[in-house]
Chain A
Amino acid sequence: MSLVLNKSMEHPATSSRAATPPPAAAWTLPGIGLLKGLAVTATNMIQSYYRKDRMTTVQYPEERATISPNFRNFPFLAYDGADAMAGLRCTACLICENECPPKCIYIVLDRDENGKSLKRPKVFDIDVSVCMNCGICAEVCPFDSIYMDGEYELSTTDRFEGLLFNKQRLARSTDYHAQLRPLEAAEVAARRKADEDKKLAAQAAKEAKAKADKAAKEQAAAQESELS
């Protein structure tokens, strides 16, 4: 009935038998172990009055702990330019809504009167009482639109409306992003600029090609008319 590990499972390197308690033969004064422990506690207590690394309590809110620049909390929506609602980068592609693990993002695509997509969100709500600060939305967004914020003093007395952030509440300028996470923002800005440049270059090339084609056609037509 009983299954015992066979020898091959005993890896050669697994040979340490140090975990046995101190041998009973080594007689010590009863209570020495206890006193040793008490010495540790006493040292800690005394050191906690003068040693910096033992004074670990931060007296919030008078004092604040330094927070890592990578700390993430809730998402925000980035916008370019001065007008937050016009400059939102979000195209309402719904990728983040689908990937969000607790499904706390709610997006409605804005359409014009003919039903054509305007590629921007009419509604963009995040229920931050459900959001689990995972950062997946920021990771999957292909349009550099959603990023993680580091703001943490968000308590409110209204747990329904107060914790449902709409797009006005979520919008933050790209400058804010650059201030919050300079490295990430610089990388994004550089990539966007490169994309933009590429697009402009492609357009310029296209225009140049069209021009050349046109010139070539005109030349051909001129030659033809000359021949006839």
Chain B
Amino acid sequence: MPELDEDQLLHVSLGPQHPSTHGVFRMNVLLDGETVVSLKPVFGYLHRNHEKIAEGITYLSSMPFTDRLDYICPLTNNWAYAQAVEKLAGIEVPERAEYIRVITAELTRLINHSAFVGFFLGDMGAWGSALMYAFREREKILDLFEDLTGARMMSNYMRFGGCRNDLPDGWAAKASVLVNEFPRFLDELENLVTGNEILIARTQNIGALPKEALINGGITGPMLRAAGVAYDIRKVEPYGIYDRFKFRIPLGTTGDCYDRLMIRLLELRESLAILRQALDQLPEGAYIHPKAKIRNFKPPVGEAYARIESPKGELGFYLISDGSAKPFRYRIRPPSFINLTLLEDMCLGLDLADVVLILGSIDIVLGEVDR
């Protein structure tokens, strides 16, 4: 590589307020013409001190704050946190609650992945159509969530030992209708994007990294699977009742932006398969463990780490309890943040316009990156 003339390089500060950065995120990019020479991510604009605040309030009080991490998928965040506390305190979860959790988590995955397709196309310049179609479908799922949890997005629904309330009358039937209608939307979405020549030209062979680099970087979720690594926590370390369902893990081959998009589209189909099975098998029974404590909850001294496959990757909570009502240490392993760490490696040598695309393909939510 020839020596670069410092004076010829252009310094571009992309963000923090920029529609393509998915929130308040900044990239200091050094350009040689159109080519990226270096890229330094700057984050923390949305830092809310979530972890420290959680150490000063009771275990239950942190639950609504977890909604606000990855605010596209509050219910999976709830689940990860509830699971960590359950592990810490050794609380059993009744069967029905496990099913409700799987159903809500997979519905969340539907929301996340279909919205991802919309945002990703927006990053490419096709702002509008795909995102609006995805949001139209998302609205139907949010209506279900509102019915179940009382809020469209900030659900605050899972409890240590189950869920806050039972499914309302007719909810499961409504969810079944939605699950049966969803494939029609997926066909539409696939027709819209997958064959599009412009999309293929812009995404194939963009942003790929070797498997080893991704594994070393701690990348998880669809990002990793797009590169062909079969690693899905629902399979490698089944939590809840995921071992009861039959579903496949789609894998990519190259790990470029196109594969990342396709992985999400295929995972949507698998989520629908899980949803169908879960809604069919949904048993009667308690939705929360009868001995679960709402007031005055004090787990025994100890530590626990629990992780789930959130739509964006491995979401884990690490808790240390000193036996009091407040956690001694509360730590989150956010998939968005860790998936972002290899951004520079993916972007070097590409055009500035590709940077936006690669950032989009990582699927970050700044609420989770900055916490």
Residues of A within 8 A of B (CB): 1-5, 9-11, 13-22, 28, 30-34, 36-37, 39-41, 44, 54, 56, 67-68, 70-72, 95, 98-101, 132-136, 139-140, 142, 148
Indicate which residue in B60, B215, B246 contacts A136 across the interface (CB closer than 8 Å): B60
For A100, give the chain B residue with the smallest CB separation.
Answer: B61
Complex contact B266–A133 (CB within 8 A): no
CB distance from B308 to the nearest CB of A (A): 16
B136 on interface, CB distance cutoff 8 Å: yes
Q: Roughly how many angstroms separate A34 CA and B202 CA in the complex, as a whole number?
A: 13
Complex contact A95–B295 (CB within 8 A): yes
4 A-B pairs closest in CB distance: A33-B195, A134-B64, A14-B230, A2-B212
Complex contact B235–A33 (CB within 8 A): no
Complex contact A34–B154 (CB within 8 A): no
Chain A residues within 8 Å of B149, by CB: 70
Indicate which residue in A36, A54, A95, A134 contacts B195 across the interface (CB closer than 8 Å): A36
Complex contact B251–A14 (CB within 8 A): yes
Complex contact B215–A19 (CB within 8 A): no
Contact status of A136 and B235, CB under 8 A, knowing A18-B250, A44-B129, A68-B143: no
Among B16-24, B92-100, B252-260, the stretch in contact with A: B252-260
Complex contact A4–B212 (CB within 8 A): yes
B194 on interface, CB distance cutoff 8 Å: yes
Chain A residues within 8 Å of B282, by CB: none
Complex contact A44–B133 (CB within 8 A): yes
CB distance from B103 to the nearest CB of A (A): 17
Q: How many A-B residue pairs have CB under 8 A?
A: 152
Indicate with 1 or 0, residue by residue over B233-262, a CB within 8 angstroms of chain A CB atoms: 001100000000011111111000011001
Residues of B within 8 A of A (CB): 57-58, 60-65, 129, 133, 136, 139, 143, 146-151, 154, 156, 164-165, 168, 188, 191-200, 204, 211-212, 215-216, 225-226, 229-232, 235-236, 246-253, 258-259, 262-263, 266, 294-295
Complex contact A19–B146 (CB within 8 A): no
Complex contact A134–B196 (CB within 8 A): no
Chain B residues within 8 Å of A41, by CB: 129, 192
Complex contact A9–B236 (CB within 8 A): yes
CB distance from A130 to the nearest CB of B (A): 13
Chain A residues within 8 Å of B216, by CB: 1-3
CB distance from A184 to the nearest CB of B (A): 9
Chain A residues within 8 Å of B136, by CB: 54, 56
Indicate which residue in B58, B164, B192, B235 contacts A11 across the interface (CB closer than 8 Å): B235
Chain B residues within 8 Å of A5, by CB: 215, 229-231
Chain B residues within 8 Å of A72, by CB: 150-151
Contact status of A37 and B150, CB under 8 A, knowing A19-B251, A56-B139, A99-B61: no
Q: Roughly how many angstroms separate A100 CA and B253 CA in the complex, as a whole number?
A: 48
Could you list 13 A-B pairs, sorted by A, with CB under 8 Å?
A: A5-B230, A9-B230, A11-B230, A16-B266, A19-B263, A21-B258, A32-B195, A34-B195, A40-B188, A44-B129, A70-B146, A70-B150, A136-B156
For A10, give the chain B residue with the smallest CB separation.
Answer: B230
Contact status of A19 and B229, CB under 8 A, knowing A32-B195, A33-B200: no
Complex contact B248–A20 (CB within 8 A): no
Indicate which residue in A14, A22, A132, A140 contacts B64 across the interface (CB closer than 8 Å): A132
Complex contact B196–A37 (CB within 8 A): yes
Chain A residues within 8 Å of B57, by CB: 101
State the majority secondary structure of interface residues on B.
helix
State the majority secondary structure of interface residues on A.
loop
From A5, A34, A37, residue with most partner B Cβ within 10 Å: A37
Complex contact B200–A40 (CB within 8 A): no
From B192, B194, B262, B263, residue with most partner A Cβ within 10 Å: B192
CB distance from A193 to the nearest CB of B (A): 22
Complex contact A18–B266 (CB within 8 A): yes
Indicate which residue in A30, A40, A101, A140 contacts B197 across the interface (CB closer than 8 Å): A30
Complex contact A34–B215 (CB within 8 A): no
Q: Roughly how many angstroms separate A30 CA and B196 CA in the complex, as a whole number?
A: 10
Q: Roughly how many angstroms separate A44 CA and B65 CA in the complex, as a whole number?
A: 38
Known: A11-B236, A72-B151. 6 other contacts (CB 8 A): A11-B230, A44-B133, A71-B150, A98-B58, A99-B295, A101-B64
Chain B residues within 8 Å of A39, by CB: 191
Chain B residues within 8 Å of A30, by CB: 197
Complex contact B139–A2 (CB within 8 A): no
Complex contact B150–A140 (CB within 8 A): no
Complex contact A15–B192 (CB within 8 A): no
Q: Roughly how many angstroms separate A63 CA and B249 CA in the complex, as a whole number?
A: 44
CB distance from A201 to the nearest CB of B (A): 25
Complex contact B250–A134 (CB within 8 A): no
Complex contact B236–A34 (CB within 8 A): no
From B148, B195, B211, residue with most partner A Cβ within 10 Å: B195
Complex contact A2–B215 (CB within 8 A): yes
Chain A residues within 8 Å of B235, by CB: 11, 13-14
CB distance from A44 to the nearest CB of B (A): 7
Complex contact B249–A13 (CB within 8 A): yes
Complex contact B251–A71 (CB within 8 A): no
Chain B residues within 8 Å of A16, by CB: 248-251, 266
Chain A residues within 8 Å of B204, by CB: 21
Complex contact B156–A34 (CB within 8 A): no
Complex contact A101–B61 (CB within 8 A): yes
Chain A residues within 8 Å of B58, by CB: 98-99
Q: Roughly how many angstroms separate A132 CA and B198 CA in the complex, as a whole number?
A: 43
Chain A residues within 8 Å of B129, by CB: 41, 44
